Amino acid sequence: MKDKQTILIIDDIKENIDVLMQFLSMYDLIPALNGQTAIDIANEEENIDLILLDIMMPNLDGFEVCKVLKNIPKLKYVPIIFLSAKSKQEDIQKAFEIGGSDYITKPFYPNELLSRVNTHLKLRAYEKDLESKIQEEVQKNLLKEQMICQQSKQAALGELLMHITHQWKQPLSSLSSINILNKAKIEAGIPISSKDNLKSIKKSEDIIMFMSETINTFKNFYIPTNGNKSFYISESVADILSIIEATFYFDNIKIYVISHEIKKTFGNINEFSQVIFSILNNARDIFRIRDIKIAEIHILIETNKISIKDNAGGIDEDLLKDIFLPSISTKDGSGIGLYLSRNIIKKNGGTITASNSKDGAVFNIDLSKKESISS
């Protein structure tokens, strides 16, 4: 890191530059005898902290140079002090309007010049320090987002395995029963007719096909997609229910769906489905934790909107306002599901809110800002 701050001095009179370089010798100074040279230097130099700029110069005057310099991104916040013999109010006003930070009239007092230069350099140092800290925080937040996404993937994998287990429990039991029955007949010397044998094979094939389709359903659900398209929310919900059906049946959770949807919604269907999936799984977990005997989830669907309401007793009021923060959870967990859900819905141009009804929690998702395309 350099020890001295850098000042670009722009004046077409060499004697004026010599005087300024003498007064400001404690800084790293770069002289320019005309506007174009100053612009070329500014484009190449990476560490200019302050610019002293004369107005009356040939070809490009100070006002024109200032406009060009302020359009260079890296100089956007670098202060420019106009140093000019022009003392009319309209000249001073114009200097500030085009981006000047200060205005000193010639002839100047050395102490006044030094004081103003020091003040602007201190402010610039504070700004650069703040910019550096902001960049550090951005990088920290980016790393945090990556860690949260990784945790979410791990949690999703756990959910996937659990639902597959429940979905396959009954089919595997049926396959086992077929094999046990046939084995028992063979061991007992009971002849098995070709018709009965084909019937057993056909039933086994149907069960295996069902299990294969289940895998395809899960695979499609978890495949990330980048493209948006029009889809019916009700169809997305139906696909999700087909995935969680066995698990929720096992936990004796009833789900009621009412749809008044008349048009398709435009967005990323996989991302949207994963949000609904996360909310429903959260409700299931709360039912278990609170040992709700008669567990119900009511889903109301309208065009571009969906409301999911449970009867698990609601969200603690102290948590409600921060429920979508990454560190907040309504159960024993990280809380990343709702945090990512909010980011996904926001990415798709919508909003997600949480509130309490008299019976439990209510999540409302509104994608009405997205383009809605009728079928």
User: Would you list the domain boundaries of the chain?
Assistant: 6-108, 140-218, 224-366
pLDDT of residue 334: 38
Question: Which range has the worst mean pLDDT, 208-217, 245-254, 338-347, 357-366?
Answer: 208-217
**Residue with tokens 């109301």, as numbered in its chain:** 300
pLDDT of residue 107: 85
Stated pTM of the model: 0.49
Higher-confidence position of 247 and 82: 82
The pLDDT tens digits of the residues spanning 286-327 come to: 998 999 999 999 999 999 999 999 999 999 888 888 888 765
Residue 328 clears pLDDT 60, i.e. is over it:
no
Look up residue 41 and give its two tokens: 């230097």
User: What topology is assigned to 6-108 in CATH?
Assistant: Rossmann fold (3.40.50)
Q: What is the percent of the chain where pLDDT is above 70?
A: 82
- Dist CA 297 CA 248 (whole Å): 11
Q: What is the DSSP string of 160-209?
A: HHHHHHHHHHHHHHHHHHHHHHHHHHHHTT----HHHHHHHHHHHHHHHH
Determine the 3-state secondary structure of 250 from DSSP.
helix
Mean pLDDT, range 322-345, rounded to an integer: 67
* Statement: residue 333 has pLDDT above 80: no
Question: CA dist 145 to 120, 224, 325, Å?
Answer: 37, 17, 12
pLDDT at residue 203, rounded to an integer: 79
With residue 305 as reference, give the H or E element that holds it: strand 305-310
Architecture per CATH, 224-366: 2-Layer Sandwich (3.30)
Residue 3 has pLDDT above 80, yes or no: no
pLDDT digits (tens, 9 = 90+) for 226-276: 678 899 999 989 888 877 777 788 788 999 999 999 999 998 887 888 788
**Confidence (pLDDT) at 298:** 96
Lowest mean pLDDT among 29-43, 235-249, 298-312, 331-345: 331-345
More confident position, 161 or 134: 134
pLDDT, one tens digit per residue, over 165-182 is 656 765 677 677 778 877
Q: Is the pLDDT of residue 214 over 70?
A: no
Question: Averaged over 20-24, what is the pLDDT?
Answer: 89
User: Could you tell me which residue, 194 or 215, shows the higher pLDDT?
Assistant: 194
Residue 372 has pLDDT above 50, yes or no: no
pLDDT, tens only, 103-157: 988 888 888 889 989 898 888 888 888 877 787 777 777 776 666 666 655 665 6
